Amino acid sequence: MSIFKEFKEFATKGNVVDLAVGIIIGSAFGKIVTSFVADIIMPPIGLLVGGINFTEIKFTMKDAVIDATGKVTKQAISINFGNFIQVVFDFLIIAFAIFMLIKAINRINRNKDEQQVTPPAPTKEELLLTEIRDLIKNK
């Protein structure tokens, strides 16, 4: 089998299409979560910690060089660990949201499994008919 034929079979299988759809939905969800964190979660947290904007926290190793006209000729060199703190915070919120989603899905699946495992108890009529059937069979 040629490599192109194998690749065509691989690429046209449902799993690859499902994965592609998942990635697209995931990237759109990422934008929603980023906006949620930046626009809704972080302002109250910034207020609680004294108005600090995490993304502006940095350690400047070398200041920017500015010429006489006020134009920046060389950018400042800095370690932007505030961005890192923000990304970690975003990750924790996303991870918690996914955890809660998976937990809910597992609870739903567990309830479905419990419903399927325990059949309903037989009624009195069914028990009586079973007894009659067993008595007839034994004669």
Coil, strand or helix at 76: coil
Query: Number of H helices and number of E strands within the chain?
Result: 5, 4
Running DSSP on this structure, what letter comes out for residue 118? Answer: S
Nearest to 54 by CA among 103, 89, 20: 89
- Residues of the chain with pLDDT below 70 are 1, 14, 52-53, 113-118
Cβ-based burial of 86 (10 A; exposed 0-12, middle 13-18, buried ≥19): buried
The predicted pLDDT at position 21 comes to 83
**What gap in Å lies between CA 106 and CA 91, rounded to an integer?**
22
The domain limits of the chain are 1-52, 53-139
What is the value of pTM for the model shown?
0.48
The predicted pLDDT at position 37 comes to 76
Secondary element (H or E) of residue 93: helix 81-117
The predicted pLDDT at position 120 comes to 77
Cα distances (Å, whole numbers) of residue 83 to 13, 38, 73, 86: 40, 12, 24, 5
The predicted pLDDT at position 50 comes to 75
Q: What is the CA radius of gyration of the chain?
A: 31
The predicted pLDDT at position 68 comes to 81
Other Cβ atoms less than 10 A from the Cβ of 57: the count is 15
The predicted pLDDT at position 1 comes to 64
